[in-house]
Every structure is written in C-alpha cells, then in structure tokens.
Chains A and B, each alone.
Chain A
Amino acid sequence: MRIVVGIKWVPNTQAVRIDPETGTLIRKGVPSIVNPHDLPAIEAALRLRDTVGGEVIAFAMAPPPAVKGLELALGMGVDRAILITDRVFAGADTWATSYVLGNAIVKIEREYGRVDLAVFGQETIDSSTAHIPGQVASWLNWPYAYYVRDIQVSGDSKIRIVRELEEYVEEYEVELPAVLGIAMRALKPRPVSLYNKLRAKLDKNVIITWSNSDLKLDPRCVGLKGSPTIVAKTIDMPEVPRKKEVYKPRDPRDGAKWIISKIVEDEKLRELLVKKLWGE
C-alpha cells in the first residue's frame, strides 16, 4: 500500500503575540513546527504500513526551511519526503494549495506507482479551515472521509474507517484510492527514532525537492494568482476580560457542580446534566 501524508509547516501559535501598540501579530522569533494535527495523520499512515506493508511518503508545499518538519516525519518512520517549493506557489489560499497538492499526488503516482490513500491532519493550527483534505479529494475525484479515528484494511482495495462524532460513532467502507482527514488527537504519534533520524540525515535521496518546473502547473492557477479568496477585512476581536473567582468546594462533586453552574448557561440543560451525572 502506498500512502501519502500531507504536512503543513506552521508557526507555533503558542508563541505568537499581539503587539500591544499596533494590534498586529508579532511573527518575529516565532519558530515553526509541524502542524500538531498532522502528527496523528503520520501515525495513522505508519500504522497502516506497518500492518499491510508498502510505503509512506510525506509531502509538504512550503518554503525550504520546512525540510526540518519533513525530517521529523522521516524521524518518525516515513519512508521518503517530498518538499514542493517554488516562489510561484507563495501566497496561496486553500484552493490553490490543494490544486498543487492534488497534482503532486498525480506526479507521485507517475514516479512511484499507484497511491492508495492520502491522509491529512483534519485542520491546521494557524488557519483551521479544514479545507485541504476535502479539496484535494475533489481535484482527484477520490472519495473523502473526515474526522477519521481508525483505519483497517478490509479487503482488496477497500478500507474500513471509524469516524467518531460528538454523539455517535460511524463506520464506513471506503473504496481506494481515497482521501482521509484524521481527527485531532486520534492517535498518539510515535517519537522520533535514532535510526530513522540517522537515515534522514545520511540518505541523500530520502528528501526530494520539486519545484514548478517538475510539476509544470499553469502559474495562473497557483500561488497568489491562483487564489480566489480575498481577505476583505480583518477585525481584531476584543480581548475578553477574564474574571477570577475562587470557590472552595466541600468535595469534588460540589466543585464539579459549581463549574457546571458557571459554564452551562441554560438552566434546563444544567439540570439535565447534573441529573445524568449524579442522578440528582
């Protein structure tokens, strides 16, 4: 089975601060990381490979420093990594990005053979659109399932997936090839291993770089030019003043009830919740 996993190299939003004078984001000194929601996707791909064999290819459309993120994926055990980098790709919205990623998958198929599955983190911490996996599926005309927590191979060219939603669990059988969005925190990502990291550093062929001269996409369809999204206006959300309240509960249940009384506004719902939890 050949699985590709998309990776986004994002600013560590924990480190992003707002300039108190200008109200704009301070990006200086903010290190980038692999989008944390991509890690369960990498883990899902690796688990599948470890059970049924095949290879996992990580790919990212990003400027060159993103190699560091691909190294992390390789360190976790991904077989090879492709960095898709070109100035013409800069400034892309999700439409233009997914167009490049979809075409990259087509090229991966040409170079390495049939791709059975493309997995992505459900969303990214820097924009949270959750557009990419669905849009890639559209470009490829592949089926798409999202909020996926578990994948099992269920026969020739078929997988069984579990989607966990707030109220219920769904199981689907999906024809391959397919695109999956892996739910946040669905799986615990494995750590980087010494051998994998060594291989990533020593094997010169393990990280491949493609530019648009490899993908040969129409420059009008990629990057800023290919992005129909227009940011009309951004509004700073006023910071919600935080109130501190100290409550000394008699016991844990009393404390829990007090918290419920603070966070659940609707009285009926509150009573229902308390009744369901403690039968009172």
Chain B
Amino acid sequence: MSSQTSRLKTMKLEELLQRSVWDVDEERHIEILKQEGLRVNALILLCPMGCYSIAGDKLIMSYEGCVECGTCRVLSRSDQIRWEHPKSGRGIQYRYM
C-alpha cells in the first residue's frame, strides 16, 4: 500500500512499481544461471522494472516485479539466464495498457 502522489514530482522506480499489479508466483520463472559474460549494465538499466541489481559482486534477479517483456532474454544467452513465462496466469496483471 502506498499513499504517495505522483503529480509533478519525479517518482522513483519503487513508487512506479506500486502502481502496477502482480499476482506473484512462489516459483521463479526467470533465473540467472551463470554470471560470466552477462551484460550487467545493460540488464540493470534496461530491464524496465529494475529486476536486475548488484548484490556484492554478483548480479541478482528479483522476478517479483517482472513484466515478462523479454528484454533480458534477448540480452543474454539461454545458458546465462533461464527465461520462462509464469504459470497459472500469475505475474503481471495489466489493467490500463
């Protein structure tokens, strides 16, 4: 729940994410398999939902805010990132798009 207003104030990504709706699956549908050779900066800056971030010396992926767009998939090989759609209708639930 959030009560911040967005009018004419820059919203941080975390605030923007609160405006969309997910039914998050317990099971992750996207997973980093291998760190070597990942296009780290591109993934961090271009994943529109900011699912990629650095923790320590590793890139991590938080699938909860994923909109299943496929950007990280085209920026990596299948042995680097496992990419599937969520099951059972879970994941992003767009309403006004």
Q: A: which residues have CB within 8 A of B?
A: 12-21, 23, 29-31, 33, 72, 75-76, 185, 188-189, 191-192, 239
29 contacts between A and B (CB under 8 A): A12-B21, A12-B93, A13-B1, A14-B21, A14-B22, A14-B24, A15-B20, A15-B21, A15-B93, A17-B1, A17-B2, A18-B3, A19-B3, A20-B4, A23-B3, A29-B96, A30-B21, A31-B21, A31-B93, A33-B23, A72-B88, A72-B89, A76-B88, A188-B27, A191-B87, A191-B88, A192-B87, A192-B89, A239-B3
Which B67-97 residues sit within 8 Å CB-CB of chain A?
A: 87-89, 93, 95-96
How many whole Å from B2's CB to the nearest CB in chain A?
Answer: 6
- CB-CB under 8 A from A18, the residues of chain B are 1-3
> Do A17 and B88 form a contact, CB below 8 Å, given A12-B23, A29-B96?
no
CB neighbours (8 Å) of A76 from chain B are 88
Kindly provide the distance from the CB of B96 to the nearest chain A CB, expressed in whole angstroms: 7
Known: A20-B5, A188-B27. 8 other contacts (CB 8 A): A12-B93, A15-B20, A15-B21, A17-B1, A17-B3, A21-B5, A191-B88, A192-B87
Name A189's contact: one of B23, B26, B96 (CB within 8 Å): B26
**Most chain B CB neighbours (cut-off 10 Å) among A18, A188, A191:** A191
- What separation, in Å, do the CA atoms of A33 and B19 have in the docked complex? 17
B41 at interface (Cβ–Cβ under 8 A)? no
B residues 1-55 touching A (CB-CB < 8 Å): 1-5, 18-24, 26-27
User: With A and B bound together, what is the CA distance between A192 and B23 in angstroms?
Assistant: 14
Which residues on B are within 8 Å of A, measured CB to CB? Answer: 1-5, 18-24, 26-27, 87-89, 93, 95-96
Q: Is the interface of A mostly helix, strand, loop or mixed?
A: loop
Please name the residue on chain A nearest to B88 by beta carbon.
A192
- Distance from A121 Cβ to chain B, minimum over Cβ atoms (Å): 14
Instruction: Note all chain A residues with C-beta closer than 8 A to B95.
Output: 29, 31
- Shortest beta-carbon distance from B19 to chain A in Å: 8
**CA distance in complex: A192, B88 (Å):** 5
Tell me the bound Cα distance from A29 to B94 in angstroms.
Answer: 10
A16, closest chain B residue (CB)? B1
Per the bound structure, the CA–CA distance linking A18 and B2 in Å amounts to: 6
Docked pose: A191 CA to B1 CA in angstroms: 27
**Complex: A48 Cα to B23 Cα, angstroms:** 26
CB neighbours of B21 from chain A (8 A): 12, 14-15, 30-31
Task: Please name all residues of chain B whose beta carbon is closer than 8 Å to the beta carbon of A19 when the two chains form the complex.
Answer: 3
Chain B residues near A30: list those with CB within 8 A.
21
Residues of A within 8 A of B18 (CB): 17
Which A residues touch B19, using CB under 8 A? Answer: 17
The chain A residue sitting closest to B3, CB to CB, is A18
Which residues on the B side are within 8 Å of A20 (C-beta)? Answer: 3-5
Query: Closest approach, in angstroms, between the C-beta of A56 and any C-beta of chain B?
Result: 17
7 nearest CB pairs, A to B: A18-B3, A191-B87, A15-B21, A192-B88, A20-B5, A191-B88, A20-B3
